A and B are shown apart, each in its own frame.
Chain A
Amino acid sequence: MPSVITVDNLSIRFGGLLALSEVSFDVEEGSITAIIGPNGAGKTTLFNCITGFYRPTSGEIRSVRAGREYALHKLPIHRIARLGVGRTYQNIRLFGQMTALENLLVAQHSFVNHHLLSGIFRTPAFRRSESEAQERAWHWLRFMGLERVANQEAGNLPYGLQRRLEVARAMAGQPRLICLDEPAAGLNQQETHELNEVILKLRHEHRVSVLLIEHHMGVVMNISDKVVVLDHGVVISSGTPAEVQRDPAVIKAYLGEEDAAAVPHAGSL
Chain B
Amino acid sequence: MNLALALKEALLAAFIAGTLFIPIVGMILDNRNLIYELPRALMFAAVVFVGRLGMTLWAQQRTRRQIAGAEESRIAGALGGVYASLEERRRWVIPLCLAMLVAIPFSPFATNYLIQIMSLTCIYVMLGTGLNIVVGLAGLLDLGYVAFYAVGAYGYALLAKHVGINFWEAVPIMAALAATAGCVLGFPVLRMHGDYLAIVTLGFGEIIRILLVNMVRLTGGPNGMSAPRPTLFGLEFTNTPGGGGTPFHEFFGIPFDAKYRYIFIYLLTLLFAGLAILVFRRLREMPIGRAWEALREDEIACKALGINHTTTKLSAFTLGAAFGGMGGVLFATMEGFINPSSFTFLESAIILSIVVLGGMGSIMGVIFAAVAITLLPELFREFQQYRMLVFGLAMVIIMIWRPGGLLKVRRRVFTRAEAHLPAASAAD
Which residues of chain A have a CB within 8 Å of any CB of chain B?
51-53, 76-79, 81-82, 86-87, 89, 93-99, 101-103, 105-107, 109-110, 112-114, 116, 119-120, 122, 131, 134-135, 137-138, 142, 147-148, 150-151, 153, 169, 173
Contact = CB atoms under 8 A, between A and B. Distances in A.
Given A76-B303, A98-B411, A106-B290, 6 more contacts: A78-B307, A78-B308, A103-B294, A105-B290, A106-B302, A147-B416
Contact of B288 (A77, A110, A116, A169): A116
A113 B287 CA distance: 8
A98 B306 contact: no
B94 interface: no
Interface in B316-364: none
B306 A81 contact: yes
A78 B303 contact: yes
B420 interface: yes
Contact of A82 (B279, B290, B298, B306): B306
Interface string B242-284: 0000000000000000000000000000000000000100110
B6 to A, nearest CB: 25
Contact of A81 (B283, B290, B305, B416): B305
A78 B306 contact: yes
18 contacts: A51-B304, A78-B305, A78-B307, A81-B306, A86-B305, A96-B297, A101-B414, A102-B411, A106-B290, A106-B291, A113-B287, A114-B287, A116-B286, A119-B287, A119-B288, A134-B414, A134-B417, A142-B425
B114 interface: no
A135 B304 contact: no
A95 B137 CA distance: 13
Given A93-B298, A96-B297, A102-B290, A110 B306 contact: yes
A251 B300 CA distance: 36
Nearest to A131: B417
Grouping DSSP codes into helix (H, G, I), strand (E, B) and loop, the B interface class, with mixed when no group exceeds half, is: helix
B265 to A, nearest CB: 26
Contacts of A99: 411-412, 414
A109 B305 contact: yes
A84 to B, nearest CB: 9
Which 8 A-B pairs give the minimum distances between C-beta atoms?
A81-B306, A119-B286, A95-B297, A114-B287, A110-B306, A77-B303, A93-B301, A106-B294
Contacts of A106: 290-291, 293-294, 302, 305, 307
Contacts of A53: 300, 304
Contacts of B62: none
A150 B309 CA distance: 26
B212 to A, nearest CB: 31
A103 B305 CA distance: 10
B319 to A, nearest CB: 8
User: Which of A53, A95, A96 has its CB near the most chain B CB atoms (within 10 A)?
Assistant: A95
B304 A94 contact: no
User: Which of B283, B294, B412 has its CB near the most chain A CB atoms (within 10 A)?
Assistant: B294
B309 A78 contact: yes
Contacts of A151: 411, 413-414
B417 A173 contact: no
A69 to B, nearest CB: 20
Given A94-B301, A120-B279, A173 B306 contact: yes
Nearest to B421: A138
Contacts of B297: 94-98
A138 B412 CA distance: 15
A112 B305 contact: no
Chain B interface size band reads: 20 to 34
Nearest to A101: B414
Contacts of A78: 303-309
A157 to B, nearest CB: 12
B420 A135 contact: yes
A148 B69 CA distance: 11
Contacts of B420: 131, 135
A53 to B, nearest CB: 7
A137 B416 CA distance: 10
Contacts of A98: 290, 293-294, 297, 411
B290 A109 contact: yes
A114 B306 CA distance: 13
B71 interface: yes
B426 interface: no
Contacts of B306: 78-79, 81-82, 109-110, 173
Contacts of A51: 304
A153 to B, nearest CB: 7
A243 to B, nearest CB: 32
A66 B413 CA distance: 38
B70 interface: yes
Contacts of A135: 417, 420
Interface in B382-426: 411-414, 416-417, 420, 425
User: Which of B294, B305, B420 has its CB near the most chain A CB atoms (within 10 A)?
Assistant: B305
Contacts of B303: 76-78, 81
B301 A89 contact: yes
Nearest to A112: B287
A98 B290 CA distance: 9
B407 to A, nearest CB: 15
Contact of A114 (B71, B288, B309, B414): B288
Contact of B282 (A112, A120, A169): A120
A82 B303 CA distance: 10
A95 B298 contact: yes
A110 B307 contact: yes
A261 B355 CA distance: 63
A93 B305 CA distance: 12
Nearest to A102: B290
Contact of B305 (A52, A76, A97, A173): A173
B307 A109 contact: yes
